[in-house]
Amino acid sequence: MNNLKLGVDVASAHNLLPKDGQGSSNAYVELYFDGQRHRTTIKEKDLSPVWDESFYFNISDPSNLHNLTLEAYIYNNIKIAQSNSFLGKVSINGTSFVPHSDAVVLHYPLEKRGIFSRVRGELGLRVYITDDASLKASKSQHAAEETEMHSHAAEAQVSRAFSNIKSESRHSFHHLPNPSHHMQQQHSPSMSVYESTKYGVDNMKAEPQPPKLVRMYSAASVQPVDYALKETSPFLGGGRVVGGRILHTDKAACTYDLVEKMHFLFVRVVKARELPAMDITGSLDPFVEVRIGNYRGVTKHMEKQQNPMWNVVFAFSRERMQASVLEVVVKDKDLLKDDFVGLVRFDLNEVPMRVPPDSPLAPEWYRLQDKKGEKIKSELMLAVWIGTQADEAFPDAWHSDAATPIDSSGAASTLIRSKVYHAPRLWYVRVNVVEAQDLVPTERTRFPDVYVKAHIGSQVFKTKTVQARSLNPLWNEDLIFVAAEPFEDHLVLTVEDRVGPGKDEILGRVIIPLSMVEKRADDRLIHSRWFNLEKPVAIDVDQLKREKFSSRLHLRVCLDGGYHVLDESTHYSSDLRPTAKQLWKPSIGVLELGILNAVGLHPMKTRDGRGTSDTYCVAKYGHKWVRTRTIVDNLCPKYNEQYTWEVFDTATVLTIGVFDNSQLGEKGGKDLQIGKVRIRLSTLEAGRVYTHSYPLLVLHPTGVKKMGEVHLAIRFSCTSFVNMMYIYSKPLLPKMHYARPFSVMQLDMLRHQAVNIVAARLGRAEPPLRKEVVEYMSDVDSHLWSMRRSKANFFRLMSIFSGLFAVGKWFGDICMWKNPITTVLVHVLYVMLVCFPELILPTCFLYMFLIGIWNFRYRARYPPHMNTKISQAEAVHPDELDEEFDTFPTSRNPEIVRMRYDRLRSVAGRIQTVVGDIATQGERVQSLLSWRDPRATSIYVTFCVVAAIVLYVTPFQVIAALAGVYMMRHPRFRYRLPSVPVNFFRRLPARTDSML
């Protein structure tokens, strides 16, 4: 680690601001990192200078690298005054540093140093971490060049040193740390369990409703109480949760404070030595049986070993123990009856308690006893202690509540354990097929009708067929693939000639390993290359001797890291970061999830003549998937497992699913889904603990059905309040999605490929996360046609316009003088606004401000959940359900009905999506003042009061003129990225989270 260095390649700058008074600048770059400074050469009279210089910084503490920042300042050198002027800066956080193999040149937009700074342009940098000792030479070389450049004259050195001191003083003033901003969390008064549950179920009835003319947004559709959330007040590891706060007990809070503390008896069986031979041949197949009461755990048997090693941990739930003595028995595996070798007994009252962060208990050698209680020569190494879920042995332990009859052989031990999975890093592979040269067709009497077929793994795409008039066809067509690290498949391109109907002939092929393909993180141009085509195996050797085979294919191939590869529904995305790690921003918070228990689960299988389930939970957020242990034969399982994720964007969704494990029986089938829960992070208040029981609602061919309830504890903690507020002004997706967008058809196709790749990779883990689980968590079928969804989206749209209809009806009542007092007041207000038009906008904004403040008391106190009313799942017709659960394409006859039916579903699916998107935009308008996203509403309410004041003191004519000029501004002053109001609006939550 002593050789670890940060490498910075200063490539070039583009479109800098002229500062020398002659329309140009003398630019140079100063780099600051970890108390070290480097400086490039000066490029005179150049607004787009190119340096191509490399610098290396020593990393004093690699463990603190994520807290360090690389800063690059561009200055204009003023020779006459021996000073410099600021042109822009770039700051790169340590979390964005990547290894040398992943580094590419990125063009960072220049940032201002202060409010009044004027900057423009971009700076191209390549930043990476390396431990290559051979790269040290470039550092000394640049240091010598810099020393030579600064040693021309003593007077120039003194002047430049003085200007550097002034510059550094300005830098130190600029980099003074900002005072920390802390936001005090407001909590509601403490409530009893019954009161909190009642409030969580039906808070709309518990408090008075505001007047209809004030509360303009539509309230949540009322659904049956049994299908609604229930707020609970459990006693967790940190204390009892009341009103979103943890009332700490006298004891210090443990790490796992969002789950109920459960005590387990852990038994680690390490190894044995000097075991006696039990038969005439002298062989021994030992295994260990751990017994306590009616519970029994068994290790694998080791064939013909007298000094076996197991290193297995058993965990027995303390609350289910029915005995006070633990027995660890060593046996010899036999066909008829296992032979007894020896045992060790432990009194549970003498077992020590271990509380992390205490070190793990060291295993000890224990002398085995025979059946009479006498010591024998053989010994067994064990460690026995009592711990909780915080113990590091918990995830990989054999659990008594997850025990099955076949666990004694170890066949299913890995299928029931809790695991954490990391989804593979996905890339978009862009293949631009330009042209081919000197093709050699088999038939020389005609020009070939050629196309290029490219495939990566199971993904196959073709270019259009070109009826070439020569042997050099031109395509210039893009093909997009999805690939995952590590790259196992190659990119294979074949040039084929369409000889006749259904008959194609391969003219040549190219195989390109993806590990050799260039990576890029922006839309810079990738240099094209000519690839020699390999001739197919079957070839005339005499003909090959007569003419040289020199066909080539012109390609541009790159791995696009500037996109976010969508592998889940766009409405429920849990991660919006680009693939290239150097584009990642620092995290803004931490998400903690406690999976407590489930109650009233529907039996998914029959065992011993009774209904039962073997359930586990899966949670997905970002690249991290988690899976709890499988609780066997229990319809009310207790998991009490806690997991943590880093949060980079609040406009993301956490998904939790409950499944039945079907791999434990003799005939393992697909894991059956019991239900899932989706929680949007922007609807959570920072620091509040949400403890709710979520109903598991699933749509079956017979209608909507409640499969049980899952009890969760959720907390979102903000680590940087300023960054969290600033993220509302940033684009929702990375820059490349706006600079070079994909079509809707491309996104659907690429998402399907991405889900297949993620499912294949996670299915190879141990234990595997099966394909049906990944597809259910990713909502793979959300784009298919459904009459029920189409009606639900239509009524969502009608609900949006219901406010306009209500205003029209209210105005009609005013015209009809149904309430004379109200009509007179409206007439007075109308005449006043006509006489003073400058009061119109301030009045509107002030009115919205007052509505937002008034609605604060009616803000939602719980996350949104699936709503059967707005999903149109309660009164759905059986024929519509049969249509929704029909296969795609349909299995109905005759053939003409199938063709028309599939066409209808395809077209109507697009209409359904458009209607849903329109409804989403309207619901986002409603959420501006509904406090559904408390941070967004606070921003908008603050903006309203500021806008009201500004518009009040500013003449209306000035506002109108500025607005018109801004709308008709020159294209030079427009940007490809969305504006701040558009970014803010797209981050607002909608009721898509409540859709089944």
Q: Are residues 454 and 342 in the same domain?
A: no
Tokens representing 384 are 């026995």
Q: Are residues 871 and 967 in the same domain?
A: yes
- Residues near 484 by Cβ (< 8 Å), separated by ≥ 6? 424, 425, 426, 427, 757, 758, 761
- Residues near 774 by Cβ (< 8 Å), separated by ≥ 6? 755, 758, 759, 762, 763
**Other C-beta atoms lying within 10 Å of the C-beta of residue 609:** 5
Judge whether 236 and 255 are in contact, CB under 8 Å: no
| Mean pLDDT confidence for 487-499 | 90
Query: Lowest-confidence range among 259-263, 564-568, 587-591?
Result: 259-263
Whether 165 maps to a domain, the answer reads no
Give the pLDDT band of residue 107 (cuts 50, 70, 90): confident
In the prediction, which pLDDT does 179 show? 33
Q: Are residues 854 and 827 in the same domain?
A: yes
| Mean pLDDT confidence for 540-555 | 64
Q: What is the CATH number of the domain that holds 69?
A: 2.60.40.150
| End position of a domain, from candidates 511, 529, 560 | 560
Say if residue 147's pLDDT is above 90.
no
Say if residue 667's pLDDT is above 70.
no
| End position of a domain, from candidates 560, 593, 609 | 560
Q: Are residues 21 and 51 in the same domain?
A: yes
Domain containing 291: what range? 263-417
Tell me how long the chain is: 996
Whether 709 maps to a domain, the answer reads no
CA-based diameter of the chain, in Å?
Answer: 114
Whether 329 maps to a domain, the answer reads yes
Whether 487 maps to a domain, the answer reads yes
Q: Are residues 399 and 431 in the same domain?
A: no
Query: Lowest-confidence range among 246-255, 381-390, 709-718?
Result: 246-255
Q: Are residues 343 and 442 in the same domain?
A: no
Query: Lowest-confidence range among 78-82, 719-723, 755-759?
Result: 78-82
Q: What is the pLDDT of residues 975-989, one digit of tens each?
A: 778 889 999 999 999
Question: What is the secondary structure of 613-681 as a DSSP string?
Answer: --EEEEEEETTEEEEPPPB-S-SS-EEEEEEEEEES-SS-EEEEEEEE--SSSSS--PPEEEEEEEEEG
> How many degrees, rounded to 5, is the angle at CA 715 between CA 713 and CA 720?
170
Query: Lowest-confidence range among 7-11, 860-864, 922-926?
Result: 860-864
Phi/psi of residue 914, nearest 5 degrees: -65, -45
Using CA atoms, how far apart are residues 494 and 443, in angstroms rounded to an integer?
18
Q: What is the pLDDT of residues 499-532, one digit of tens each?
A: 777 788 888 899 999 999 999 998 888 899 999 9
3-state secondary structure string, 179-232? CCCCCCCCCCCCCCHHHHHHHHHCHHHHCCCCCCCCCCCCCCCCCCHHHCCEEC
Using CA atoms, how far apart are residues 8 and 58, in angstroms rounded to an integer?
12
Q: Residue 844, SS3?
A: helix
Judge whether 678 and 699 are in contact, CB under 8 Å: no
Is there a cis peptide before residue 357, judged by omega within 30 degrees of 0?
yes
In the prediction, which pLDDT does 175 show? 36
Q: Are residues 388 and 519 in the same domain?
A: no
In the prediction, which pLDDT does 993 show? 85
Question: 983 to each of 374, 727, 730, 743, 936, how far by Cα in Å?
Answer: 77, 9, 6, 20, 12
Question: What is the secondary structure of 511-538 as a DSSP string?
Answer: EEEGGGSEEESSSPPPPPEEEEPBPPS-
DSSP summary character for residue 991: G
Counting Cα atoms < 13 Å in the Cβ hemisphere of 60 gives: 6
> How many degrees, rounded to 5, is the angle at CA 150 between CA 145 and CA 152?
110
Say if residue 590's pLDDT is above 90.
yes
Using CA atoms, how far apart are residues 897 and 909, in angstroms rounded to an integer?
18
Q: What is the pLDDT of residues 870-914, one digit of tens each?
A: 888 877 777 777 777 777 777 766 776 777 677 677 778 878 888
Picking from 583, 641, 650, the residue whose alpha carbon sits closest to that of residue 621 is 650
Give the pLDDT band of residue 549 (cuts 50, 70, 90): low
Give the pLDDT band of residue 135 (cuts 50, 70, 90): low
pTM of the predicted structure, to 2 decimals: 0.76
Share of the chain above pLDDT 90, in %: 37
Q: Are residues 348 and 431 in the same domain?
A: no
Q: Are residues 26 and 94 in the same domain?
A: yes
How many domains in the chain? 4
In the prediction, which pLDDT does 191 show? 34
Question: 94 to each of 2, 29, 180, 761, how far by Cα in Å?
Answer: 18, 20, 20, 29
Q: Residue 595, SS3?
A: strand
Picking from 307, 283, 312, 527, the residue whose alpha carbon sits closest to that of residue 408 is 312
Q: Are residues 13 and 35 in the same domain?
A: yes
Q: What is the pLDDT of residues 223-242, one digit of tens each?
A: 777 788 888 888 888 788 87
Question: 441 to each of 7, 450, 937, how far by Cα in Å?
Answer: 50, 10, 67
Tokens representing 492 are 């294979």
Using CA atoms, how far apart are residues 571 and 916, in angstroms rounded to an integer?
10
Say if residue 133's pLDDT is above 50.
yes
Query: Lowest-confidence range among 274-278, 559-563, 633-637, 657-661?
Result: 274-278
The rounded mean pLDDT for the chain is: 82
Higher pLDDT, 951 or 786: 951
Whether 47 maps to a domain, the answer reads yes
Q: What is the pLDDT of residues 841-856, one digit of tens each?
A: 898 999 999 999 999 8
Query: Lowest-confidence range among 158-172, 367-381, 812-826, 922-936?
Result: 158-172
Q: Are residues 382 and 501 in the same domain?
A: no
Whether 871 maps to a domain, the answer reads yes
Q: Residue 471, SS3?
A: coil
| End position of a domain, from candidates 104, 130, 156 | 130
Q: Are residues 472 and 391 in the same domain?
A: no
Whether 593 maps to a domain, the answer reads no
Higher pLDDT, 325 or 401: 325
Whether 218 maps to a domain, the answer reads no
* 54 membership: H or E segment, kind and range: strand 50-58
In the prediction, which pLDDT does 839 show? 85
- Residues near 954 by Cβ (< 8 Å), separated by ≥ 6? none
Q: What is the pLDDT of residues 787-811, one digit of tens each?
A: 888 888 888 888 888 888 888 888 8
